Amino acid sequence: MQIGFIGAGKVGKALGLYFKNHNLNISGYCSKSLESAQEAAKTTDTNCFDSIEALMGSSDLLFITTPDSALYDVDKKASDLQNNHKKIWVHASGAYPSDCLLSLKMVGCPVGCMHPLQSFGDPFVSAKMLEETFFSIEGTQEAMDAIKFILQKTGGYYNEISAGHKPLYHAGACVISNYLVTLLDCGMRFMETAGMDRKTLFQAIRPLIDGTLKNIQEKGTVDALTGPIVRSDYDTVSMHLKAIEANIPKESDIYRTLALKTLDMIEERRIGHEQADRFRDLLKGNSSNEQ
C-alpha cells in the first residue's frame, strides 16, 4: 500500500517519518505550496508532487493533513478527479468526522479519520513521540481496515470513537493541551508577581508539574488532588483570594472558577457536603473568611 500526503505541515511530516520508521511505503507529498511539499519530501526522503491528481496516480491511500479549514476544498477537488473511487481517503482532524469528506464518500470512496492525540512541533521529535501516542479512529469499514493495518504495522495504540462525538472529543483535547498552557501561564503570573524570576520560573515549577502528572497516573485525578481544599483549609483559600484581589484582580475569576470546579470533582469523595458548601460561600464572597 502506497501512502500519499496532501498537506505538508508539521502533522504530515511527522506522520510520514513515523510511517517510514515502520517500513510503510510513502509515495510523497503535495501541498498548496510547492515549496512546502518539496521540504516535506526532503525531510522524509520521499517524492514531491505538483497536484492531487499526480499524487493519486502513485498512491493507494491518501492522508489529508491540511488545516481543518481546507478539508472541504480538498474533498471537492478530489471527488471531481477520475478514478478517485479506487483510493482510500483518511484525514487527521480531531474535530471533524470522516463524513466531512462527503463528496468523496458519495462517489464511492472509503473515508476515515485517524487523529493522533498529540501536539506537534519539530517533525523528528514528533515522530518519536508518536510511538507512544494514542490515535482516535472512525470511518467506513474499508477505511477502518486500512487504518488498523497501518497501526498494526506501527504498533500504534488506538480508540474507536463515534463520529458524532468528534467535537466533544476535540474539546477535551483542547482543554488538556491548549488550556493547560493557559493555566500554567496564569499560575506563573501569580508567582512572577510575588517576585519569582520569570526566566527560571518554569525550571522551578517543573518538578511540581511532573510530580502532579505522576500522581494522576498512579491514583487518578480525584485521589491525586492535594492542597487546601482537600485539607478543608478555609483560611488559606481566603488568603489566596485576598492576595489575588490586591495584586492581580483580573485573575480572580479563574481562581474562583477552578476552585468551584474542584469542589464539584471531589465532593462526597474527598470532602463532605458541609465542607464543600462552606468553600462555595467563601469563593462566591458570602463568607466572613474573605472579609
103-117 pLDDT tens trace: 999 999 999 999 999
Q: In residues, how long is the chain?
A: 291
pTM for the predicted model, two decimal places: 0.88
Task: Mean pLDDT check: name the lowest of 81-90, 169-178, 227-236.
Answer: 81-90
- Least Cα distance to 91 among 2, 177, 208, 12 occurs for 12
Indicate the pLDDT class of residue 286, thresholds 50, 70 and 90.
confident
Q: What is the pLDDT of residue 285?
A: 87
pLDDT tens for residues 237-272? 999 999 999 999 999 999 999 999 999 999 999 999
pLDDT averaged over every residue in the chain: 95
- The rounded distance, in Å, linking the Cα atoms of 103 and 79 is 6
- Least Cα distance to 42 among 129, 125, 124 occurs for 124
Q: What is the pLDDT of residue 86?
A: 80
Indicate the pLDDT class of residue 126, thresholds 50, 70 and 90.
very high
The values of phi and psi at residue 48, to 5°, are -105, 135
Q: How far is CA 170 from CA 165, 197, 211, in A?
A: 9, 35, 26
pLDDT tens for residues 182-214? 999 999 999 999 999 999 999 999 999 999 999
30 grid coordinates: 503535495
- Least Cα distance to 84 among 101, 66, 65, 67 occurs for 101
Q: What is the pLDDT of residue 291?
A: 47
What percentage of the chain carries pLDDT values higher than 90?
95
- The rounded distance, in Å, linking the Cα atoms of 151 and 148 is 5
Sequence-distant (6+) residues with CB within 8 A of 207 are: none
The values of phi and psi at residue 225, to 5°, are -65, 135
Indicate the pLDDT class of residue 85, thresholds 50, 70 and 90.
low
Please state the rounded mean pLDDT for residues 67-75: 96
As a three-state string, the secondary structure of the chain is: CEEEEECCCHHHHHHHHHHHHCCCEEEEEECCCHHHHHHHHHHHCCEECCCHHHHHCCCCEEEECCCHHHHHHHHHHHHCCCCHHHCEEEECCCCCCHHHCHHHHHCCCCEEEEEECCCCCCHHHHHHHHHHCEEEEEECHHHHHHHHHHHHHHCCEEEECCHHHHHHHHHHHHHHHHHHHHHHHHHHHHHHHCCCCHHHHHHHHHHHHHHHHHHHHHHCHHHHCCCCCCCCCHHHHHHHHHHHHHHCHHHHHHHHHHHHHHHHHHECCCECHHHHHHHHHHHCCCCHHHC
Per CATH, the homologous superfamily of domain 2-161 is NAD(P)-binding Rossmann-like Domain (3.40.50.720)
The yes-or-no verdict on residue 140 having pLDDT over 60 is yes
The yes-or-no verdict on residue 288 having pLDDT over 70 is no
